[in-house]
Amino acid sequence: MSNSRDPHALARLVREGRRYWASPAGQALWKSERACLGPVCERLVGQHSLELGMAPMLSDICPIRHALGWSPSREMAEHESTLVCPPDALPLPDDSLSLVVVHHLLEVVTEPHHMLQEAARVTADNGRLIIFGWFPLSAGGLSRAWPGRRRRMPWRGHWRSPGRLGDWLAFVDFEIERVDYCGFHLPGSLPRNTMLETLGRRHNLPLGDSYMIHARRRAQLAQSQRPRFELARPLTGPALGSASRVEPQPERNRNGD
């Protein structure tokens, strides 16, 4: 795994991840996950969103005005609306984003708790936090037992169940609204079987290669009295590549394990 504070190691990890997502298997699963995210996006509105991951952006289908991507370095940034920073130290104000998507990154960073805390911190009270993860009990998860696979993408890292991530989310005052499963296929085949994908998603069977967690902040009476922060203007170009850490805001409970 990579150290999220080591920019060179993190860049190598992201390059490896991008190679997987550009492969036929990665593209097939990416399309399945994009189809899962589509109905969620239809119900979202807002000014700003952020996607943390190694694959091509999924959340650009959402009707949010300004979509930020993420990169560990300027050289790897694919467009000007890219946030360049460690994934566990986001240079953004509290409660500033209507949507945050964490796409298969919690499995491979060495500080997943801190990364999740940061993603929760910048998600607005009425926003949504979406987490894509690998399902340990899927065909892909069981195939990780084959020799050498855990050293390669996408099988490397720590695969956690939605229930385990639900415990983590509770520590940052978020709760799971729903879990959807994506990427249904027979062992040894790609998730391109339309019939299996349709049946799996219709009945939301816990058999897909990946899952999508919809999470929102727990209701708090004090929220209406808390100061709100918004980005005064879209962050583009050099402002993103040279973004510095904002002055820390009062912290929520971050003592989660």
Residues 6+ apart with CB under 8 A from 183: 28, 29, 32, 33, 138, 140, 191, 197, 208, 209, 210
Architecture of domain 26-217: 3-Layer(aba) Sandwich (3.40)
Domain boundaries, the chain: 26-217
Residues 6+ apart with CB under 8 A from 188: none
Q: What is the pLDDT of residues 41-52, one digit of tens each?
A: 888 888 899 999
Q: Which of 13-17, 18-22, 33-37, 139-143 has the lowest mean pLDDT?
A: 139-143
Helix, strand, coil percentages in the chain from 3-state DSSP, rounded to 5: 35, 20, 45
Q: What is the pLDDT of residues 180-225, one digit of tens each?
A: 999 887 766 666 667 787 888 888 888 889 999 999 998 754 444 4
Judged against a pLDDT cut of 50, whether residue 75 lies above it is answered with yes
For the chain, what is the mean pLDDT? 83
- The pTM score is 0.81
The Cα 15–Cα 57 span in angstroms is 15
Helix-helix angle 24-41:194-203, to 10 degrees = 40
Q: Are strands 174-182 and 46-53 parallel, antiparallel or unpaired?
A: unpaired
